[in-house]
Amino acid sequence: MRTTTTLALVLAAACAACGGAAAPAATAPPAAPTTAAPTIARRAAPPPERWCLHLADDGNGGMVTLVMNHGYENFAGQRDYPWLVQLHVEVVDRNVAGLPTPPEADVLNALEERLTPAFLAEADLHYVGRATMPGFRDLLYYAADGAQAEAAVKKQAALRQARPFEYTVAEDPEWAQVAPVLAEPGDCAD
């Protein structure tokens, strides 16, 4: 497990650079398979998806790409989901900028496609987006119950995965870790 400080600094740097960054059109992260239907009650249904891409500098001259669901920008259920669940995955096959090569992106996307429905089946949480920076990709979720979310993540972490991951579960009732990026206009798919 690790702290969310790194993400906070990356998001702050990204937010500061979001407005003027030229970016290709945003695309939604890979769709999660529909075979694993949620099996638990939800406090709030997810908002309509509105995926946006933000490009920024990480503060050290590295590129950061954030793919965020801007449907959560004014999500009325935020107060019911005060726990940030952050998965931190190392990028193994990197280009010269430290970002995933196309084959590595496929591996990371497949991991995301596997983990997200597994978490949704066992915890009341919402997938908000991901941040890819030199050497790492973070997946960001907000949960209603921190202990329930941690149990779901621990269960998946104990299984053999394409890439091992570290995680944190930390209180963030104001969604402060993602609010600055959600408030910035991104390059959106709509």
**What is the domain count for the chain?**
1
pLDDT in tens, 37-66: 446 888 899 999 999 999 988 888 899 999
- Better pLDDT: 31 or 80: 80
Encoding tokens for residue 167?
């995680």
Expressed as residue numbers, the domain containing 70 is 5-26+50-188
62 forms bridges with which residues in the sheet? none
| In a domain? residue 41 | no
| Residue-level pLDDT at 30 | 54
**What pTM was computed for the model?**
0.82
* Among the listed residues 3, 45, 56, the one whose alpha carbon sits nearest the alpha carbon of residue 181: 56
| In a domain? residue 32 | no
| In a domain? residue 155 | yes
Tell me what the mean pLDDT of segment 60-77 comes to.
Answer: 93
Burial 112-129 (b: 16+ CB within 10 A, else e): bebbbbbbbebbbbbbbb
Q: Side chain identity at 186, as an amino acid letter?
A: G
Encoding tokens for residue 13?
């740097």
Tell me what percent of the residues of the chain surpass a pLDDT of 90: 65
pLDDT in tens, 27-38: 556 554 444 444
